[in-house]
């Protein structure tokens, strides 16, 4: 199909000042590592080195936890909710003021299209701080139990798919409830967290309230294992989540785990097809499919399956894959070589197991990590591409005949994070929402996020909720509990 030619419309990267190297943000200032090493953060779109970043040692994590403890005992744990709220408001406002810087840096470091970092990640990150600023002085009235109190020092480990947004999901509720924080961004996307450290300085947040330690899995493990961490909040893979659960078993540490997903996006024959096609595209090709709640399994009613597949392929032919900083780009770079290898391996398995592979045939840049938007039809439930999280721009299409069959297939997964239902019948939406074992069920839409709305999983998608009142509950202990 003929495509319109768009002139390049690149966002300027001059708006952001990337330093050649970064230390660790501990006790309100950047410091050198004690015994740690360094690694490079690269742009996945060009493989260009963006900056050198510190790989924090256990001694560094120990310093960060000690700083968080001092800040908790000395200032933050005693501060009134109204005063804490003022800091959160300030952070939210500064994030808004520096939104372009954050959007450009996120797209450079992560590979996601600037349209998404500019219109989704950064505004939602600010919204989380605004929302939680409002709760800080109202916790006694939030229905969390008698006299809610903070846990103390919270250790947080986040993934690379929404670096700034996941940081905000973690830090905003922790601070609103009076906890102090030691957070580790993902190894491949540390730069917006380090820029966020500047925001904390600008907001005059007391030293030690938030500490940012960069590094790989071992640094995350050092946070998990640290004896003076009271609570852990982790977002990442189910495999690492299980390891964390095992590490803290038998300790006093509380934990929330936000893990993987394999969501069903279910399209009935009475659905508004044009909107459903957009919802399917948004569901799996948003953020290159690096989304835990991505609609990676399309369940389409048999009577309309052929039509939906045809229209979907036509639509995918118009997606622009390429430069993340170009405002016309729909699908950016795959975040890392390792992730590209995993997607390549799983899609090869899909073909080997007999599913029919199709991609949009677009040209890919010569350098960097890229994967064409891909659809598998003729997928059966036992195929690996129907069971395992691919975490890339790959859709597996299955069919069903009846609502009961749709529910059975949708729930036939170890995960349970999200689902989508497309139908014109309100009663069917309610029935489906009741039957689906998923933390979030979207109706006639997909991938909509809001800080007021709790997000989290069933089964191997983890436990605990983030966002809304439910998210606050994970960061407090009540007078009833000891």
Query: Active-site residue numbers?
Result: 258, 292
Burial of 19: CB neighbours in 10 Å, binned 0-12, 13-18, 19+: middle
Task: Note whether 471 binds ligand TAP by CB under 6 A.
Answer: no
Task: Note whether 440 binds ligand TAP by CB under 6 A.
Answer: no
> Smallest distance from the beta carbon of 290 to ligand TAP, in angstroms?
7
Task: Note whether 260 binds ligand TAP by CB under 6 A.
Answer: yes
Task: Note whether 76 binds ligand TAP by CB under 6 A.
Answer: no
What is the size of the binding site for ligand TAP (CB under 6 A)?
Answer: 28
Task: Note whether 387 binds ligand TAP by CB under 6 A.
Answer: no
State the helix-helix crossing angle for 81-97 and 191-202, rounded to 10 degrees: 120
- Residue 254 is given by DSSP the state E
Task: Note whether 389 binds ligand TAP by CB under 6 A.
Answer: yes
Hey, how many other C-beta atoms are within 10 angstroms of the C-beta on 327? 14
Residues with Cβ within 8 Å of residue 110, at least 6 apart in sequence: 44, 117, 160, 161, 163, 188, 189, 324, 332, 335
Burial of 175: CB neighbours in 10 Å, binned 0-12, 13-18, 19+: buried
CA atoms within 13 A of residue 367's CA, in its CB half-sphere: 8
Task: Note whether 187 binds ligand TAP by CB under 6 A.
Answer: yes
- Cβ distance to ligand TAP smaller for residue 288 or 377: 288
Task: Note whether 245 binds ligand TAP by CB under 6 A.
Answer: no
> Smallest distance from the beta carbon of 477 to ligand TAP, in angstroms?
23
Using alpha carbons only, give the angle 209, 121, 452 rounded to the nearest 5 degrees. 70
Task: Give yes or no for a contact between 209 and 182, defined as CB atoms under 8 angstroms apart.
Answer: no
One residue of 237, 387, 435, 445 binding ligand TAP per CB under 6 A: 237
> In what side-by-side order are the strands of the sheet with 37-42?
21-22, 49-55, 37-42
Task: Note whether 261 binds ligand TAP by CB under 6 A.
Answer: yes
Q: Is the dihedral of CA 199, 195, 230, 67 positive or negative?
A: negative
> Smallest distance from the beta carbon of 302 to ligand TAP, in angstroms?
29
One residue of 220, 279, 322, 332 binding ligand TAP per CB under 6 A: 220
- Cβ distance to ligand TAP smaller for residue 167 or 410: 167
Q: Distance of CA 296 to CAs 125, 194, 317, 342, Å?
A: 25, 32, 18, 15
Task: Note whether 161 binds ligand TAP by CB under 6 A.
Answer: yes
Give the interface segment with ligand TAP, choosing from 105-113, 181-189, 203-211, 365-373 (CB under 6 A): 181-189
Give the interface segment with ligand TAP, choosing from 238-246, 268-276, 445-453, 469-477 (CB under 6 A): 238-246
Token look-up 């991609």 returns: 359
- Cβ distance to ligand TAP smaller for residue 148 or 163: 163
> Smallest distance from the beta carbon of 159 to ligand TAP, in angstroms?
3
Hey, how many other C-beta atoms are within 10 angstroms of the C-beta on 35? 9
> Smallest distance from the beta carbon of 219 to ligand TAP, in angstroms?
7
Give the interface segment with ligand TAP, choosing from 141-149, 151-159, 197-205, 443-451 (CB under 6 A): 151-159
Residues with Cβ within 8 Å of residue 97, at least 6 apart in sequence: none
Task: Note whether 11 binds ligand TAP by CB under 6 A.
Answer: no
One residue of 90, 112, 128, 184 binding ligand TAP per CB under 6 A: 184
Q: What is the largest CA-CA distance in the chain?
A: 66
One residue of 155, 159, 283, 471 binding ligand TAP per CB under 6 A: 159
Task: Note whether 240 binds ligand TAP by CB under 6 A.
Answer: yes
Task: Note whether 116 binds ligand TAP by CB under 6 A.
Answer: no
One residue of 76, 102, 131, 160 binding ligand TAP per CB under 6 A: 160
One residue of 133, 193, 194, 259 binding ligand TAP per CB under 6 A: 259
Token look-up 């009134």 returns: 80
- Cβ distance to ligand TAP smaller for residue 107 or 221: 221
Intra-chain end-to-end CA distance of the chain, in Å: 65
Q: Nearest Cα to 104, choosing from 117, 120, 119?
A: 117
Task: Note whether 55 binds ligand TAP by CB under 6 A.
Answer: no
Task: Note whether 233 binds ligand TAP by CB under 6 A.
Answer: no
Q: Nearest Cα to 159, choosing from 149, 148, 167?
A: 167
Task: Note whether 157 binds ligand TAP by CB under 6 A.
Answer: yes
Token reading at 219: 């640094």
Task: Give yes or no for a contact between 136 and 81, defined as CB atoms under 8 angstroms apart.
Answer: yes
- Among positions 409-428, residues that touch ligand TAP (CB under 6 A) are 417
Task: Note whether 292 binds ligand TAP by CB under 6 A.
Answer: yes
Q: Distance of CA 460 to CAs 170, 208, 257, 416, Å?
A: 20, 34, 10, 7
> Smallest distance from the beta carbon of 182 to ligand TAP, in angstroms?
12
> Smallest distance from the beta carbon of 160 to ligand TAP, in angstroms?
5
Interface with ligand TAP (CB under 6 A): 157-161, 184, 186-187, 216-217, 220-221, 224, 235-237, 240, 243-244, 258-261, 292, 389, 391, 417, 462
């Amino acid at each position: 199909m003929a495509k319109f030619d768009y002139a390049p419309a690149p966002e300027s990267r001059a708006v952001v000042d990337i330093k050649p190297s970064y230390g660790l943000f501990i006790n309100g200032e950047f410091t050198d590592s004690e015994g740690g090493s360094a690694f490079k953060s690269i742009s996945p779109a060009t493989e260009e080195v963006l900056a050198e970043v510190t790989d924090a040692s256990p001694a560094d994590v120990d310093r960060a936890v000690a700083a968080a403890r001092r800040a908790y005992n000395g200032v933050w744990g005693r501060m009134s909710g109204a005063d804490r709220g003022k800091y959160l408001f300030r952070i939210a406002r500064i994030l808004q003021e520096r939104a372009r810087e954050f959007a450009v840096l996120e797209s450079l470091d992560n590979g996601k299209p600037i349209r998404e970092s500019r219109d989704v990640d950064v505004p939602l990150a600010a919204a989380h701080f605004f929302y939680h600023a409002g709760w800080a002085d109202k916790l006694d009235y939030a229905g969390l139990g008698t006299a809610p109190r903070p846990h103390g020092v919270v250790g947080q480990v986040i993934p690379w798919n929404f670096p700034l947004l996941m940081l905000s999901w973690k830090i905003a509720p922790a601070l609103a409830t009076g906890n102090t924080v030691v957070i580790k961004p993902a190894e491949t996307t540390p730069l917006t967290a380090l820029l966020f450290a500047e925001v904390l300085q600008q907001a005059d947040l007391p030293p030690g309230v938030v500490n940012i330690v960069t590094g790989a899995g071992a640094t995350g493990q050092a946070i998990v294992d640290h004896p003076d961490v009271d609570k852990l909040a982790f977002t990442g893979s189910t495999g690492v989540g299980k390891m964390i659960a095992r590490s803290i078993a038998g300790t006093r540490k509380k934990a929330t785990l936000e893990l993987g997903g394999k969501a069903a996006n279910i399209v009935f024959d009475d659905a508004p097809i044009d909107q459903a096609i957009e919802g399917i595209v948004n569901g799996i090709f948003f953020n290159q499919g690096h989304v835990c709640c991505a609609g990676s399994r399309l369940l389409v009613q048999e009577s309309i399956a052929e039509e939906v597949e045809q229209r979907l392929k036509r639509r995918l032919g118009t997606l622009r894959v390429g430069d993340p900083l170009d405002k016309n780009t729909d699908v950016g770079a795959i975040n890392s070589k390792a992730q590209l290898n995993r997607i390549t391996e799983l899609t090869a398995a899909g073909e080997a197991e007999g599913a029919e592979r199709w991609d949009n045939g677009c040209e890919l840049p010569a350098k960097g990590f890229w994967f064409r938007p891909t659809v598998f039809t003729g997928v059966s439930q036992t195929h690996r591409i129907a069971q395992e999280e691919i975490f890339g721009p790959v859709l597996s299409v299955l069919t069903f005949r009846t609502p009961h069959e749709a529910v059975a297939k949708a729930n036939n997964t170890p995960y349970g994070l999200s689902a989508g239902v497309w139908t014109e019948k309100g009663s069917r939406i309610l029935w489906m929402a009741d039957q689906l074992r998923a933390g979030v069920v979207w109706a006639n839409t997909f991938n909509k996020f809001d800080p007021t709305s709790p997000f989290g999983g069933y089964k191997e998608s983890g436990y605990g909720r983030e966002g809304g009142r439910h998210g606050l509950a994970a960061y407090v202990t009540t007078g009833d509990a000891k």
